[in-house]
Every structure is written in structure tokens, then in C-alpha cells.
Structure 1
Amino acid sequence: MAEKQPNEKLTTWFGRSGWSKGELARQVNRRARQMGAHHVSTDTSRVRRWLDGEQPREPIPRIMSELFSERFGSVVSVEDLGLRTIVPVSTVGGGVDLPWSAPQTVQLISEYSRSDLMLNRRGFLGTSLALTAGAALIEPMQRWLTPGPSGAPLPILTAANGGEPHSGRLSEPELQLLEQTTVMFRQWDAQNGGGLRRKAVVGQLHEVTDLLQETYPEQTTKRLFRLTAELAHLAGFMSYDVGMHPSAQKYFVLALHAAKEAGDRPFGALILTDMSRQMIHLDRGEDALELIHLAQYGSRDTATPRQQALLYAMEARAYATIGEATRCARAARMAEDTFSDCRETDGDPDWLKFFSEAELNAENAHSYRDLAYNAPRSPLFASMSAPVMERAVDLFRQDPGHVRSYAFNLVGMASVHLLQGEPEEAARMAEQAVEIATKVRSERLNTRVRKTSAAASRDYKGVAEISRLADRVVQDIPEFIPAG
């Protein structure tokens, strides 16, 4: 028998995490209980054996993948940890390659939302705990653009085309109330973060899929599918906001399917935009770029100037992530030019109204800031980012409806001050963000605050303001522990 070799990959990630063996064991046990794997009971000696090369059994490799992914804010696969996975990694779409048909879309959303509500755990929903990426993600998403066999959009089953006679009894006032509730959920998310109302949104989504089990006139059916798409997208964004990345992606994909059934190309483009945003957050710039280009192509005949500007701004973010300075700057300029064509009379839907002048400045400022990290001539890009980020901060300060965005841009401004060698100003901005982070439920914001504080402590050790910031972060922004 071959001699067991130490697991150098796991040892490296474990060392970077700052966890003790006992803390990793406790987190594995806690997560296992949350997913119902009560047989898992890990201790310090077991962790030591893993580091020495012992291969743990499922579901421990998948649990560790998720724990390390959350710790570092990017995907750390089972293979990255030097562990074997019993479940093969799909190269043809995995958990996102779903059938594009109305009945199956309803069934999948109903089942997934019910599991989410019943299991009350983070990240262990569906058949895969890993984020789908690369061609396995992009190719299934391209089918969003594919028409039905006749060249027309896929048909919705109604009494008029061979379905059952109308069995649904949903009234117009009830449907309007559901649509108004979705708008309210969206406002709550912007003000309070994704953690506070996520379960309520998932519950509402599940109830709407129950309504879709009945048959209605075609226009009512389309409105219900549009409502389903909006709720699934919001559930995805809230899941993303609280660090549940695989679940967020699943909801986004299901939302895209529902948007297709509704025949709503602009909203489908928004879903792909937020899928791109998630990939940027996870430092997968190439995937982000593919997704945003798919959104641009799919909405080329339907997007208003406001949505076109959003798409250009996110294209710039994706180019910045991969260090493409010239293309990033061009896309940012296109976003500004197109936004100048926005008019109140454009008839933009409620879900697009968030993309304001403040958001435009925020996206472009973060693009320039990211170029400072990822491209040569970083001082130039930091100086380009500073006034645009400052403008975003000033605009969001005046907007009580987007508190979380205000905090994100305070953190962004802090990171720019660090790039410009201004640690005291960076600490001042970051402390304001900490104050907000204690009042909203956004692990995404908490992660940004922790990363910025860690970078400041690394580069400006000994600066009193930076030390005070670090102490405040440790005290008020605890490390992410998934809720049970």
C-alpha cells in the first residue's frame, strides 16, 4: 500500500484561514447538523489526520469547500483543497442545465423554494453545493435566446391552445397586491440587506408557484410568470447578499427560466446582469463578461437607455476584473453617455429604477478602482476613481432608500484612500461603513469591510486610526457563521 502523503493543498488553505484545528472541527460539525448529517462528529485529531493526508467521507469535502469559499469570498473547490469528491463535477451544465419548459420551470421553482423553507440551512439546496462556472454555466444560459421549434417564443399552456379550461380564480386586485408586495420586498432589501426578509421572499415565491398550478388567460399567466421571475431573482440577490452563492445562482437561473416564459427580455437581461455581478464578486471576470455580453445581445432591441447604461457599466466592471484597461474605460464612457439619454418618460419598470446617477458613479468608480488592482499604472486609475467614488458617496448620502449601497461606496472610498496612501481618511470612511453594517443584514457588505480593514492593517501597521478600525471590525463585524 502506498504511503499516505500530507495534504499540502489543504494545509495551505488551512494556514491562510487563521482557524485553529478545533475551530474548523466545530464549523464542520455545525454545518453538518444544519444539513441533517447528524452522523458527522469531527474533532481536532480528525482534522490533523486530514492535514496528514486522510481523505474524509462525504459530505465533509463539500462542507469544507463551502466553509473555505465563505472564508475567502471566492470559490474554493473540493479539488482545490486536495480532497476527492464522490459526486462527479459536471462539464455540461450541472445544476444549471435545466429544461426550458413552463411546467418544469414551475415544478423546479416550487421544489427548490419549498426545500429552502423547510431545511433552514445555507448552501445545501439542490443537487450541487458548488457554483457552476465556465462553459458549464454559459452554454445553458445561451438557450435563453433560443425560440421554440416554430421560431416563435415557447408557448404557455392555456385553455386556448389545448390546456385545461381556466381553473384559476385569481382576481385582478389580488394580482396587483402580489405585484405591489414584490415592490415592497425590493425596497426592504435595498434598505436593510438581504438577510432580514429573505425567507419571506422565498415563501411568497413558493405561494406564487402554487398559483401557477392553475390555468388562467394568457395575459394573467404571463404576469404570474413575470412575478415569479421577479421574486426568484430577488431571492437570488438576497441569497448572494448573505453569502449563499450556490443557492443564489440557482435562484437566478430559475428566475431566467420564468422570465423567458413571461416573454420579458429586459428582465431576463437584468437577471444575467446580476449573475455577472456575482461572478465579479467571486473574481471570475471571464464568466462575468460572457454573461453581460449575453444580456446585451438578448436585450438589444428592448433595453431602455437606463438599462443600456447599466449593461455598459457592468461590462466595464467585468473588463476591470480581468485588467482590460482600454475596454473598461470605453465601456464606462458608453455608460455615462447612454445614461445622459435617460428620461423620466422612458417608462422604466420599478426593478430598474435603482440604477440612478449614484449607481452609475458607483459602478464606474469601482471599475477604475479595480483597474488599480488588476492593471498597470495603478496610481492613474486610483486618481480616476477618487472623484467618481466621492460623487457616488455624496449622492447616496442623500438617499435613505439605499443605505446598503451608501455603505458599499464608503468602503470603496476607503479602499481608494488606501491606494493613494491616505490611511487616516481610509479609516474614517471605513468606520462609517461599519456603523451601517451593524444595522443591515448583508454578509457581502461585512466581507468588504473585513477585507478593507485587513488590507489597511497589512499596509499601514502602526497607524492609530487603522488600529482603531481593526478593533472596531473585530468587535462589531463577527466572522460569518451560517444561521441554523
Structure 2
Amino acid sequence: MGEKQPNEQLTAWFVRSGWSKGELARQVNRRARQIGASHVSTDTSRVRRWLDGECPREPIPKILSDLFSERFGSLVNIEDLGLRATVQLTPGSGVDLPWSGPQTVQLLSDYSRSDLMLNRRGFLGTSLALTAGTALIEPMQRWLAPAANGRPTPILAAAREGAQPTGRISGPELDLLESTVVMFRQWDAQNGGGLRRKAVVGQLHEVCDLLQESYAPEVTRRLFQTTAQLAHLAGWMSYDIGMHPSAQKYYVLALHAAKEAGDRPFGALILSDMCRQMIHLNRGNDALELIHLAQYGSRDTATPRTQSLMHVLEARAYANLGEVNKCYRAARLAEDSFRDINAGDPEPDWISFFSEAELNAENAHSYRDLSYQTGRSQTYALQSQPVMERAVELFSQDPGHQRSYALNLIGMASVHLLQNEPEAAAASAQQAVDIAVRIRSERVNTRLRKTTEAALGEFRDVSEVKRLRERIDQDLPEFNRQQAV
């Protein structure tokens, strides 16, 4: 074989970035930890070999693509970096699971037990791979299958056929269990996913034990609903602290449990959060497939509030892909659906988080993302600003959603940066740090670090930006996932 040739494309992007080899290595390692690729350990000599022509293994090409895209505010493909795009999925990634009640219970029980045991030593997620593309979408489409024939799910069908109940849970105990899920959800919204994740996983494992026995059909349905909500919450909390493969695993299992409960609206919420995760990971096409599946599967059952949520995430996915007209259309549909909400109509607790503040926040982020996708267009940045300001104003009045308040302050900072307003950006980010030190959300911390790095890249000499960087380094050290209790 001939000698490797220097990678001139990667070198050109690297020189333009202004990063040192050590800084790029540090960012690659940090991003790898965020997506659960704990085996990645890069240093300056490794970066030098990439520039000299060595092709790094997955997931590093995708990580480099994401980092340079964020640095320059426009899409930098793997091929643009002179690297080969390779498949990052593995056959054993674990999302194509049997749609069977007993197997769903067993898989949830086994996985939650492993989570509780292995996370004590920091091993959780190292054996998992994030699944994307066709390998993710096709198994999720099977969520729709029961609706095609109208038959009940297997466990509920067995209960209706006369199996003698042997379960030991009473009505008041089941009520208490359901109220506990509501309490966990409130804790997460206020304090971040890192504070009560293990408690949620432990409760999930206990509910799986209950499902080993037989009950009357309505009790079985409610237990599966509770299981689905706990698994979804475990996934959401894992996502919030950057454990993406584990989050995806919980989401998939939650969708299976929601199917057993016959709960289409909640299944749509799970798919919506899977969409949100794909947007976060810059996989817009996968995000769009997931949200369309959620919309189709709940078309006859979703309330206006749930429909509005799905439309805003559809808009986010289109913004991620740079589809301007489709993004605007979805954002308008979200606003129209939100106006259809009747305050007197009963709704489940799990959708109550989607407020006017969330609607404004998601649409503002869509417009901001369009600015990035269109070469930092001021048109979209200016459109984002008043909508983001409204979201920040509403969240400032809501002590129960501190994490969302912080995330939108960071979003406001990014909009100021797009408009070359570093002092205003630093001020918004400082407010977010005030919240970040009180909660435990690696998602908040990561976005603060990324926004600060972006500010330093353009406005390194601005004193407010310097002070922000000093405070980030002092008050938000790298997150240790073993702290997630």
C-alpha cells in the first residue's frame, strides 16, 4: 500500500477553526462521553495523525462533523472533512425487540437491574451503541401494528380470557404508584435528570416485579401505563445527563410498554422525545421520520396540546435539515393547535409541561437553527429573538421548570451571538449559570460550554466573555455520571 497522503480538507477546516490540536482532542473526548462512547480517548498526537491522513474510526468522523458544523454555524459533512462516512450501528444495538408483553416486562426488568448495578462503577452504556437510520425507524413502525387489526395486546387478551388474578396490589396502592410518577416528573423538571434518575430506575424495576403476576385487565393496563411512564422518564433523565444509548434503550422499551397498555397518545410522546434526541444529535432525517410516525399513530387520539407539541418538533426537525418553508408551516400549525386548547378539557399529567412558554421556546429554536443552516442569516436570527424573549419571560415566572428556563437563557445567548452582541450573550449565559449550579443537568452544562466556546471563538477579547469563561470553568466542572442518584 502507498503512503497516506495528508488530509488537506480536514487541515483547512482545522486551521480556520483557530483550535489547537489539544483543544480539538478535548472537545472530541467530551462529545464522545456525551453520546456514551466512553472508549474514545483522543490526544494531540492522534489529531496530528488525522491531519496526516489517518482515517479515524466511528464515532469520531461524525463527532468531528458536528464540532465543525457548530463552530462555523453551517453544515460540515463528514465528506467535507476528507473522511469516509462509515456505518456507526452495530447488530446488537438492541432496539429491534419482540412486541410481546411478557418479553417487554423481562427486558425492562433485566435492563433496569443492570442499570442499578453497573452504574455504581460507571460502566453503564459502554456496551450499548446508539441506533439510527433504517435500523431504528423500521422497528419503531411496528408500534402501529395493533391498530391495524383492532385486537387487544397479548397480556390484556389473556386477562380477558379468564386468567385468575394472583396479583397483590390494591387499588389505593396503584393510585399511590401513579402519583409517585407525577412526583418524579416534577422533580425532574425542577432539578434536572441527574438528581433522581436512580430512584426512577429503582421504581421501574419494582413495577416490573409486580407485572410478573396476573391481574384483572384494568389493573394490568394501568400497571403497563405506569411502566411506560417510568421507562420514558428514565430515558428522559438519561438523555438529560448525556447517556444517549441508555436513553434510547429506555425510550424503546417504554414504547413497547405503552403499546401493551393500549396508550397511543403516550406512545406518541415517547416517539416525540426520541425525535428530540435525534435533533440534539444532528440526525434531522431520523427525527423527521420519528415525529411523523408519532403524528400518524396518534392522529385520532391526540389532544390539541399534544398535536401542538408534535408540530413544534416537526418544525425543529425541518430546521435541522434547512427546510425553511416546511419549518414555517409546521411552526404555524403548532400555534394553531395550541390556540385550540380548551382549558376545561381533562388532559394527562405527562403533557402538562407543554405550555405557552414551551411553544415559544421550540419555535424560537427552530428559527435560530434556520439561521445556522443558512449561513448565519440575520433574517431568521431577528425572527427568533422576540419569540425567545417571550419564552424566557414566561419561564422566569415558573419556578417548577428551572431547567427549561436555563436552556432558553442559553438559547437567548446564542441568538445574541448570531447578531454580534457578545455582551448581551454573556449576560444571558451568566443568568443560566446561576440556575445550572443549583440543578443537575449535563444538557444545560454542555450547552453553556458550547455557547461559551462559540463566544470565545469570535469575541475572545470582550471582557464579559472572558468572565463567563472563567465562571464556567470554576462553577461547572465536567459532570461525573456516577453522581446521578
**Shorter-chain TM-score: what band?**
0.7 to 0.9
Find the counterpart in structure 2 of residue 382 from structure 1.
Answer: 381
| Cα deviation digits, residues 421-479 of structure 1 (max 9, x gap) | 21111110010101111111111111110111111111112111111111111222223
Change (3 A) 1:126 1:482: closer
Conserved 8 A contact 1:396-1:403: yes
Deviation at 1:209, TM superposition (A): 0.4
Conserved 8 A contact 2:38-2:126: no
The one-letter amino acid of 1:427's match is: A
Find the counterpart in structure 1 of residue 410 from structure 2.
Answer: 411
Change (3 A) 1:222 1:353: same
Secondary structure in 1 aligned to 2:260? helix
Conserved 8 A contact 1:186-1:234: yes
Find the counterpart in structure 2 of residue 366 from structure 1.
Answer: 365
Conserved 8 A contact 1:158-1:216: no
Find the counterpart in structure 1 of residue 321 from structure 2.
Answer: 322
| Cα deviation digits, residues 181-230 of structure 1 (max 9, x gap) | 10000000000000000010000000000000000000100000000000
Deviation at 1:483, TM superposition (A): 2.9
How many residues were matched structurally? 467
Find the counterpart in structure 2 of residue 423 from structure 1.
Answer: 422
Conserved 8 A contact 1:134-1:287: yes
Conserved 8 A contact 1:372-1:380: yes
Distance 1:322 1:66 in 2: 16
- TM-score by structure 1 length? 0.84
Distance 1:126 1:8 in 2: 30
Find the counterpart in structure 2 of residue 128 from structure 1.
Answer: 128
Change (3 A) 1:252 1:163: farther
Conserved 8 A contact 1:145-1:298: yes
The one-letter amino acid of 1:154's match is: T
Deviation at 1:128, TM superposition (A): 2.9
Distance 2:47 2:418 in 1: 39
Distance 1:363 1:123 in 2: 34
Change (3 A) 1:249 1:393: same
The one-letter amino acid of 1:264's match is: D
Deviation at 1:377, TM superposition (A): 7.4
Moved more, 205-214 or 412-421: 412-421
Deviation at 1:154, TM superposition (A): 2.4
Change (3 A) 1:378 1:180: same
The runs of 5 or more residues in structure 2 that have no matched partner are 71-78
Secondary structure in 1 aligned to 2:404? helix
Conserved 8 A contact 2:384-2:415: yes
Secondary structure in 1 aligned to 2:295? helix
Distance 2:95 2:399 in 1: 36
Conserved 8 A contact 2:271-2:294: yes
Conserved 8 A contact 2:254-2:270: yes
1:274-289 counterparts in 2 under 5 A? 274-289=273-288
Deviation at 1:374, TM superposition (A): 0.7
Does 2:161 correspond to 1:177?
Answer: no
1:240-255 counterparts in 2 under 5 A? 240-255=239-254
1:40-119 counterparts in 2 under 5 A? 89-90=89-90, 94-119=93-118
| Cα deviation digits, residues 7-52 of structure 1 (max 9, x gap) | 979x98999996859x98xx89xx9xx9999xx9x99899799979
The one-letter amino acid of 2:143's match is: W
Provide the aligned C-alpha RMSD in A: 4.0
Distance 1:415 1:197 in 2: 29
Deviation at 1:88, TM superposition (A): 9.2
Conserved 8 A contact 1:411-1:448: yes
Change (3 A) 1:64 1:326: closer
Conserved 8 A contact 1:112-1:126: no
The one-letter amino acid of 2:403's match is: R
Change (3 A) 1:283 1:88: closer
Find the counterpart in structure 2 of residue 226 from structure 1.
Answer: 225
Find the counterpart in structure 2 of residue 269 from structure 1.
Answer: 268
% same residue = 63
Find the counterpart in structure 2 of residue 475 from structure 1.
Answer: 474
Secondary structure in 2 aligned to 1:95? coil
- TM-score by structure 2 length? 0.84
| Cα deviation digits, residues 49-107 of structure 1 (max 9, x gap) | 99799999xxxx78989999999999xxxx99999x9x99447x942111100000001
The runs of 5 or more residues in structure 1 that have no matched partner are none
Distance 2:308 2:42 in 1: 52
Deviation at 1:124, TM superposition (A): 3.9
Does 2:188 correspond to 1:189?
Answer: yes
Distance 2:376 2:44 in 1: 48
Change (3 A) 1:212 1:478: same
Deviation at 1:482, TM superposition (A): 4.0
Change (3 A) 1:89 1:469: closer
Find the counterpart in structure 2 of residue 298 from structure 1.
Answer: 297
Q: Relative contact order (C-alpha < 8 Å, sep 6+): which is higher?
A: 2
| Cα deviation digits, residues 376-432 of structure 1 (max 9, x gap) | 671111111111100000000000000000001101111111111211111100101
Change (3 A) 1:36 1:346: closer
Change (3 A) 1:35 1:145: closer
The one-letter amino acid of 2:475's match is: D
Conserved 8 A contact 1:123-1:247: no
